[in-house]
């Protein structure tokens, strides 16, 4: 059975990793159908389900109140040392607990944690990034280097839905801000996930003419970046997806978080969003 037609049940017993971002986070109080779908999926899929989230817009609002203009390099937020406490507070606190509340209201048992809790994933500060104007230091921005995510397995086995924010810890125990797509991808690799679902503001990858691209390989992703069809924040998202596919063989699908029916269609093996596979 091909990845393009298989249902969730046919994709293996690893957990489903669902990354939530964009307007889905902003309008979470009105997304009751989505939360019910996720809770139902966590119970029906043998490997359980894990939610990973960022919260860039919530962080932007806080930075605006503090009079700080956010900076990004290649779609990644620059995180100076003096801003990391506030970012941790928003992501691991306000946003994380509000999502746990959504899961609870939908009848699930959500547990809010960060990537650093229980040593789920090992992280390190990213190296300097090459730009047209020279090397750029992103500050307290991290990347996943490994880990077993054993705590997540334990929670799933006990019937819980782990809700993980994209805050990791370095070897010295200091917090790092990870791109949530990269965090979800790292978790998918560590847990050998049956699939990674990226819920975002758009229904999938589109070409310059605005036409949905239903299927792509990792090689296609790089070609679309070079051509300019994929740009901005979609670059780290799609590259993280391509890395998961290349390293694990698991399918990655990009879906609209505002259209929960698309998630249900995908679980049944019906066409929805953009599927990335080998």
Q: Is 170 exposed, middle or buried (0-12, 13-18, 19+ CB in 10 A)?
A: middle
Q: What's the whole-model pTM score?
A: 0.88
Per-residue confidence (pLDDT) for residue 12, from 0 to 100: 64
**Confidence at residue 1, expressed as pLDDT on a 0 to 100 scale:** 29
Q: How far is CA 26 from CA 7, 63, 82, 95, in A?
A: 29, 16, 25, 10
pLDDT for 11: 58
pLDDT of residue 6: 54
pLDDT of residue 72: 84
Question: What is the set of active-site residues?
Answer: 19, 22, 56, 181, 237
Burial class, 85, CB count within 10 angstroms (exposed 0-12 / middle 13-18 / buried 19+): exposed
**The tokens of 189 are what?**
């690799």
Let me know: does 189 contact 244? Beta carbons within 8 Å. yes
Cα separation, 19 vs 11, in Å, equals 18
| Placement of tokens 């019937």 in the chain | 159
For the chain (length 278 residues), average pLDDT per consecutive 10? Answer: 46 85 75 89 93 91 90 83 94 95 95 95 90 86 91 95 96 94 90 90 87 93 92 85 86 86 85 90
């Amino acid at each position: 059975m091909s990845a393009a037609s298989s249902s969730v049940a046919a994709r293996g017993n690893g957990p489903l990793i669902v990354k939530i971002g964009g307007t889905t986070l902003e309008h979470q109080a009105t997304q009751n159908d989505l939360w019910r779908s996720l809770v139902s999926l966590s119970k029906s899929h043998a490997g359980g389900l894990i939610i990973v989230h960022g919260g860039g817009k919530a962080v932007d609002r806080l930075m605006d109140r503090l009079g700080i203009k956010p900076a990004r390099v290649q779609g990644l937020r620059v995180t100076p040392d003096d801003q990391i406490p506030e970012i941790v507070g928003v992501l691991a606190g306000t946003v994380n607990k509000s999502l746990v509340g959504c899961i609870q209201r939908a009848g699930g048992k959500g547990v809010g944690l960060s990537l650093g809790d229980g040593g789920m994933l090992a992280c390190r500060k990213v190296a300097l990034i090459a730009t047209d104007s020279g090397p750029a230091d992103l500050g307290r921005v991290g990347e996943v280097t490994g880990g077993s995510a054993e705590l997540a397995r334990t929670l799933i086995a006990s019937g819980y839905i782990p809700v993980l924010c994209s805050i990791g810890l370095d070897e010295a125990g200091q917090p790092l801000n990870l791109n949530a797509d990269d965090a979800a991808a790292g978790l998918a690799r560590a847990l050998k996930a049956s699939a990674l679902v990226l819920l975002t503001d758009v229904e999938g990858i589109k070409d310059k003419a605005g036409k949905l691209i239903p299927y792509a390989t990792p090689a296609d992703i790089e070609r679309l970046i070079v051509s300019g069809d994929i740009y901005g924040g979609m670059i780290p998202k799609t590259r993280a997806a391509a890395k998961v596919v290349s390293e694990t063989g698991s399918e990655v699908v990009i879906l609209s978080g505002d259209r929960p029916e698309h998630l249900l269609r995908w679980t049944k093996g019906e066409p929805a969003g953009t599927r990335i596979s080998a």
